Copies of this chain bind each other. A is one copy, B any other.
């Protein structure tokens, strides 16, 4: 079964409000095995609303529309839909009574323009809204493309979600004509470009029964495996596909499912009862910030030092002035002393340090913008590496933090980060 989503409102087409409804509905539909073939947004104009419904009738069996159900003059969805499907508007008495008593319970008289919200196309099924005045409705109509189902919901996200869950999803579930279900599994990767990832996994899976989707929202590069099938085979099919992917991805994969690098670092540290402290120069606090974005991170993050100025490197972290003068602030030698220094200062299991040139200024021939040194200190050793990163300031900081977090993760797993083929580049 194919579905489409229509969002209505000038606040959306003028960029004033970000539409989160369509995304939410799409996710819910996927879970029921519906394929969303199109999502569309138009402003509060009857001709555009009607043309959008008609365009979506060409593309899907079920259309779910949100918005335009309010009491004001620019709320035009119900009358437009009724005219489009050739049905008169009928006032629904129970809805009128409910709205009047809702206003009375708030000690107010219902404004007469709210009566508009009790009008529905003849024959429509009214979808109760326990959280607001405007109910939704659904209808069935014959179109040149076949029978189509329309659902109309309020645009207020909490009301939409409530009606969707209560009245729409159960009905959609019963409407599906197939037994086929969908399942998916996601792998999070680091150290490989989206294109190299694509090449790496080419031919691993059967394109007849599985589908791969890559997503690069740097620093997250993920690949999702989706399988379809009858309920009795789909789990085994997904397991087999995931196993093949896991083997092929090897150490480029740092986590599976809805996770990210900072969450994985926290998981590994927690499992080992280890703690971490940061000594950040070029990353400026980003590593600390990402680590502490994870709920419960106070269990393994002690804190650390943002050693942006050299005076902080020497006075707080104990970096030697001679080393600074001899090798410069951006050097593996200074990074190692920073990592060891913050570990000593805080007593953390691991001290992780960054020093580099994020740009746009500060680069030299020897050490151009993007030169970043990373070091880690633990009780038995200190390791460091010099990277040449690229991109603008924001990018260098982000990449630095991602590499440093992976260093911590690997060190906590007992690996030597400098020996990782992923991190040696």
Q: Which residue of B lies closest to A15 (CB)?
A: B27
In contact, B301 and A308 (Cβ under 8 angstroms): yes
In contact, A302 and B293 (Cβ under 8 angstroms): no
Of the listed stretches A47-55, A80-88, A138-146, chain B binds A47-55
Of the listed stretches A108-116, A163-171, A244-252, A403-411, chain B binds A108-116
**A259 interfacial by beta-carbon distance below 8 Å:** no
**A125 interfacial by beta-carbon distance below 8 Å:** no
In contact, B298 and A289 (Cβ under 8 angstroms): no
Segment 275-310 of A: residues with Cβ below 8 Å from B: 277-278, 280-281, 283-289, 291-293, 295-298, 301-309
> Given that A308-B302, A311-B302 are contacting pairs, would A213 and B293 also be in contact in the complex, using a CB cutoff of 8 Å?
no
- Residues from chain B with a CB closer than 8 A to the CB of A131 are 391-392, 395
Please report the C-alpha to C-alpha distance between residue A70 and residue B196 in the assembled complex, in whole angstroms.
12
A340-371 vs B, Cβ < 8 Å mask (1 yes, 0 no): 00000111000000000011111000000000
Question: What are 19 contact pairs spanning A and B, CB under 8 A?
Answer: A12-B26, A13-B35, A13-B37, A15-B36, A37-B42, A39-B42, A71-B198, A108-B425, A111-B196, A280-B288, A283-B292, A285-B289, A285-B304, A288-B306, A288-B308, A293-B393, A302-B308, A303-B309, A305-B316
Of the listed stretches A16-24, A235-243, A263-271, A374-382, chain B binds A16-24
In contact, A72 and B198 (Cβ under 8 angstroms): yes
Number of copies: 2
In contact, A40 and B43 (Cβ under 8 angstroms): no
**A11 interfacial by beta-carbon distance below 8 Å:** yes
Interface range for A: 35 or more
Please report the C-alpha to C-alpha distance between residue A17 and residue B26 in the assembled complex, in whole angstroms.
10
Of the listed stretches A214-222, A320-328, A413-421, chain B binds A214-222
Question: How distant is A363 from chain B, measured CB to nearest CB, in Å?
Answer: 12
Known: A131-B392, A285-B289, A285-B306. 10 other contacts (CB 8 A): A14-B27, A17-B23, A70-B216, A72-B214, A111-B193, A284-B285, A284-B291, A284-B293, A296-B361, A315-B346
In contact, B156 and A111 (Cβ under 8 angstroms): no
In contact, A195 and B72 (Cβ under 8 angstroms): yes
- Residues from chain B with a CB closer than 8 A to the CB of A217 are 17, 156
> Given that A39-B12, A39-B40, A41-B39 are contacting pairs, would A301 and B289 also be in contact in the complex, using a CB cutoff of 8 Å?
no
8 Å CB contact of A16 from B28, B213, B293, B391 = B213
Please report the C-alpha to C-alpha distance between residue A312 and residue B113 in the assembled complex, in whole angstroms.
46
